[in-house]
Structure 1
Amino acid sequence: MIRRDFDPDTVMPDGRPPAKGMVFDPKAEGAWRGSLHGEVINGPVTVLAYGNDTPGQGPKLHVHPYDETFIVIAGRARFFVGDDVIEAGAGEAVLGPAGIPHRFENLGPGRLQTIDIHHSPRWIQTDLD
């Protein structure tokens, strides 16, 4: 399949060099394995790695002033986003819109692993629980 979504001649590079940063240490223990703020690599998003092995466990209810996209890498999760409840499994993504309180939990059995994309160069959060 050939894609041609835009004309490359219409986009001018902004002068930023390529960059690399560590999101998480693969050997790290615990649920919050790491994060990479977009400002570290001059990018527009912050990336977090989260995972746990305990059904019912997950982050506390919180809110951000920007959108957050959750990508389920392994396992199954139940997301509580405002008044909505969404179940998602490996390969699926869920959007938490800006200003809407949200949380998620491992549905089990086994490990839940997510990559959480904060649509901000910095991680900004207010915990509500």
Structure 2
Amino acid sequence: MSTETLENVEGRDIGSGISIIRERTDVDGSGPRLHKHPYGETFVIIHGRARFTIGAAEREGSAGDVLVVPADTPHKFAVIGPEVYEAVHIHESDHFITEWLE
């Protein structure tokens, strides 16, 4: 049985200058479509793997990796199953600002 957990915390709600997304899923291929933010985003991968597109580059991220996406850089990722992908996505803003590109 597939499971997904997504928890968003905006920094302004807790007195912080950063916002986070905590994600846990075993749904192969899941992930956001191409988008960008006017601030940097850092992915801390705790478990599992995902295929990331960051600008023109593609790479696989796996447990223990930290990937940084510069401000205004289009990016997306897709979970590589069947193992659980678990990560913390750190947004360098006290609230989420997303421009969807696809």
Taking structure 2 as the reference length, the TM-score comes to 0.90
Mark the runs of 5 or more structure 2 residues left unpaired by the alignment: none
For this pair of structures, how many residues does the alignment match? Answer: 101
Mark the runs of 5 or more structure 1 residues left unpaired by the alignment: 1-28
For each residue in 1:80-115, what CA deviation from the matched residue of structure 2 results, as whole angstroms up to 9, or x when unmatched? 001011211111110111001000111223111111
The structure whose RCO (Cα within 8 Å, separation 6+) is larger is: 2
Runs of 4+ in 1 over 3 A off after TM superposition: 29-32
More strand by share: 2
| RMSD of aligned residue pairs (Cα, Å) | 1.6
Counting aligned pairs with the same residue, the percent is: 36
CA contact (8 A) 1:52 1:58 kept: no
Q: Distance in 2 between matches of 1:90 and 1:69?
A: 14
CA contact (8 A) 1:65 1:98 kept: yes
Q: Do residues 122 (structure 1) and 95 (structure 2) align?
A: yes
For residue 47 of structure 1, what is the amino acid of its counterpart? I
CA contact (8 A) 2:3 2:26 kept: no
Whichever of the two has the greater Rg, that structure is 1
